[in-house]
Amino acid sequence: MFASGPETGHENRGVSRPLLVPMRFIWPYGGSRVFLTGSFTRWSEHIPMSPMEGCPTVFQVICSLSPGYHQFKFFVDGEWRHDERQPFVNGNYGVVNTVFIARELDVVSPSLSPEAPSRSHMDVDDVFIRSEPVPTISDADLEVSRQRAATFLSRHTAYELLPDSSKVIALDVNIAVKQAFHILHEQGIPMAPLWDSFKGQFVGVLSALDFILILRELGNHGSNLTEEELETHTISAWKEGKVHLSRQIDGNARSYPRCLVPAGPYDSLKDVVLKILRSKVAMVPIIHSASQDGSFPQLLNLATLSEVLKCILRHFKHSSSSLPILQQPVCSIPLGTWVPKIGESNGQLAMLRPNASLGAALSLLVQADVSSIPIVDENDSLLDVYSRSDITALAKDKAYAQIRLDEMSIHQALQLCQDANSINGQRCQMCLRSDTLHKVMERLASPGVRRLVIVEAGSKRVEGIISLSDVFRFLLGV
C-alpha cells in the first residue's frame, strides 16, 4: 500500500479541478483506534476516524472524493477489516469495500450517500437494510427467550439486589417541601421514600414529578400555593392536596399514585419488576419487618430496573445464546417508541426545540406521561434531553422562585443542570437502530442510564427512544 498522496480538494489557480463529493464513511463496530484508507488515498494514507459523540462504538470521517468507483478498507486496532454489511469484493489488497459515486448527485450509491447541505449524514442504517435484510426472529425463539428470562426473574429474589454497603435516603413527611427538593438535588436522586414518625411507617415517595406539579401550581394564577408557603409547606400537606391537583390536570380524574408500593427482600425479581412497571415509578423500596404486623420496618434498599437488568446480564453472560432475542437488532423487534414513518399514524414521539418554554416541557412531561423529552434542532438532530429529574436543578439557589416557566427556555433550564445527570460527561446516551438488544441492555445497565435515544449515524437525527421499562415490558411480554 504505497503510492503518492490522496485525492484532496486543494485549489490550484488556473487549474481545472474535478468535482469532489463529500462522503461520510462509518465504522459502527467499535475499537480503540480506527483508520480509513482506500484507492482514493492510493492506499498510502491512513485517515483517522473519530468516535461519534454519545456512541463511542461508532467511528466516522468525511472525505471528498471524485465521481467514480472507489475501494476502501478499515484499519482497526492494528488489524485490517472490511464491513460485511456494505458491498465488498476481492481486490489487490484482499477483501475491500466498494462505493460508486455517480456524476449526477441525484443518483447515489446504495451504501454511501453524498453530504447534502440540508442533511449532512450517511444513512448507515439504510446500508444495513439494503445490502442485507434485517434479521428476524421466529415466534418460537421469541417465546423461548421470554420464558427463560421470566423463569430467571421468578427464581431469584430482591435480596440479591442488596449491596454490601450503601446509603439509602428517606424523608420525614413533616419537613418542608422546599428542603426536601434541596436534598434530592444535592444527593442526585430522583425520588425518596417518605417516613411518617407518628404512624411508624413508610407511607409514600416524593419524586421529581411532585416538584413539577408544584412548579406548575405556582405558575398557575389560580394557585392556592404561594412561594412563601412553599418555604414552610410540609410534604404531608402537599400530598393531601395532590389528589385534587391531579384531577385538575387529568380530565379523567386519574390520580397519581399516593400510596407506597414496597417490595420485600424475598419477593421475586419478577414481582419487583412488575410493581415498578405497573406503578410507573423509577424504583421501589425494599422494606423488611421482623414483626408480623409490619411494625418497625427497615428500609434496606431502593430497587431499580437497572439493578435487575445487571442481574440478567450477569446470569446469561456466558450463555447468551440461550436467549436468541439478545442478538436481534432493536429495529427488528417491537421495542421502544419510534418516530412514525411517512404514511404511518401510530402515535408520535414527543420532541421539543431548545427555544420552547420550560412550561411547555413540564406540561408535556405530565400530559404525555413520559419521563424525558429529546431536544432537537430544526433537522430533528439530537441536541440534549430534558428529563423529569432535571427539574430538581431548580432547587439550587432557589432558582424556582426567580423564574417564570413560560419565560425560561429549555436551553436556559438545561444550563442550570449541565453538570447534573451526566454519565462520563455525556448527558445524551444514544444508540443506533442496528445495535443488538444485548448491546442496548449493556448500556442501559450502566449507572444512571435510564434511556437511550435512537439516532441516525452521522446526523444524530432522532429515530426513537428506548427506556428500561420498554426492555422489561418486551422481555416479559406485558
Tell whether 113 is covered by a domain.
no
Residue 66: half-sphere exposure toward Cβ, Cα within 13 Å: 11
Asked whether 24 and 121 are in contact (CB, 8 A), the reply is yes
User: Do 174 and 257 sit in the same domain of this protein?
Assistant: yes
Distances (CA, A) of 234 to 195, 312, 398, 404: 13, 40, 17, 23
Q: Under a CB-based contact definition with an 8 Å cutoff, are residues 313 and 445 in contact?
A: yes
3-state SS track over 166-195: CCCCCEECCCEHHHHHHHHHHHCCCEEEEE
* Residue 148 within a domain: no
d(CA 469, CA 14): 62
Residue type at 452 in one-letter notation? L
Whether residue 292 is contained in a domain is answered as yes
Residues 277 and 213 both lie in one domain: yes
Query: Collapsing DSSP states into helix, strand and coil, what is residue 159?
Result: helix
Are residues 392 and 453 both part of a single domain?
yes
d(CA 48, CA 151): 47
The verdict on 175 and 302 lying in the same domain is yes
395 and 465 in a single domain? The answer is: yes
**Residue 9: predicted pLDDT:** 44
Tally of CB atoms within 10 A around 163 = 10
Query: Would 342 be classed as within a structural domain?
Result: yes
Residue 198 lies in a domain: yes
> Per the structure block, which three cell numbers stand in for 387?
428529563
**420 and 390 in contact (C-beta within 8 Å)?**
yes
Tell me which of 275, 308, 341 is where a domain ends.
308
> What are the contacts of 410-415 at 24+ separation with CB within 8 A?
410/352, 410/353, 410/354, 410/355, 410/356, 410/357, 410/358, 410/361, 410/375, 410/386, 411/354, 411/355, 411/375, 412/358, 413/358, 413/361, 413/386, 414/354, 414/375, 414/384, 414/386, 414/390
Mark whether 339 and 364 lie in a shared domain.
yes
Inter-residue contact 63 to 22 (CB < 8 Å): yes
Residue 73, strand partner residues: 37
Same domain, 368 and 444: yes
Question: Structural domain of residue 266, as residue ranges?
Answer: 158-308
Cell numbers 438488544: residue: 437
- 97 neighbors 73 (Cβ within 8 angstroms): yes
Q: Is residue 415 part of a domain?
A: yes
Residues, the chain: 478
Q: DSSP string spanning 297-359? A: -EEEEEEEHHHHHHHHHHHTTT-GGGSGGGGSBGGGSS-SEEPPPTT--S-----B-TTSBHH
**Amino acid identity at 251:** G
Each residue's pLDDT expressed in tens, for the chain with a length of 478 residues: 434 445 544 444 444 455 778 888 888 888 899 999 999 988 888 999 988 876 788 888 888 888 888 899 999 998 999 888 788 888 778 888 888 776 644 433 333 444 433 333 333 333 333 334 556 778 888 999 999 999 999 999 999 998 888 788 999 999 988 888 888 888 888 889 999 988 888 988 888 888 888 777 766 654 545 566 666 778 887 777 665 555 544 444 444 445 678 999 999 999 999 999 998 888 899 999 888 777 788 999 999 999 999 999 999 988 878 888 998 899 889 999 998 765 555 557 889 999 998 888 888 888 888 888 999 998 888 999 998 888 877 766 666 666 777 888 888 888 877 655 555 556 788 999 888 999 999 999 988 888 999 998 878 889 999 999 999 999 999 8
Measure Cα distances from 442 to 39, 316, 326 in Å: 37, 12, 11
Tell me, what CATH number does 226's domain have?
3.10.580.10
Read off the pTM: 0.69
CA dihedral in degrees (413, 447, 451, 276; nearest 10)? Answer: -110
331 and 297 housed in the same domain: no
Q: What is the pLDDT of residue 293?
A: 76
384 forms bridges with which residues in the sheet? 375
d(CA 189, CA 403): 23
Q: What pLDDT is attached to residue 108?
A: 37
Same domain, 300 and 331: no
Residue 127 lies in a domain: no
- Residue 40 sits in a domain whose CATH number is 2.60.40.10
In this structure, are 38 and 94 located in the same domain?
A: yes
Which of 19, 277, 65 lies closest to 153, judged by CA?
277
Q: In this predicted structure, what is the pLDDT of residue 124?
A: 34
Residue 411 lies in a domain: yes
Predicted local distance difference test score (pLDDT) of residue 114 = 43
Domain boundary pick from 276, 308, 340: 308
- Whether residues 165 and 240 fall in one domain: yes
DSSP assignment string, 250-294: -TT-PPPP-S---B-TTSBHHHHHHHHHHHT-SEEEEEE-SSTT-
Render the burial of 401-423: b for 16+ CB within 10 Å, e for the rest: eebebeebbbbebbebbeebbee
Residue 208: what pLDDT? 83
**Grid cell listed for 350:** 414527543
Strand partners, 88: 97
Q: What is the 3-state secondary structure (H, E, C) of 124-138?
A: HHHHHHHHCCCCCCC
Residues 283 and 163 in one domain: yes
Among the candidates 76, 101, 126, a domain finishes at 101
- Split into its structural domains, the chain has a count of 3
pLDDT, position 129: 32
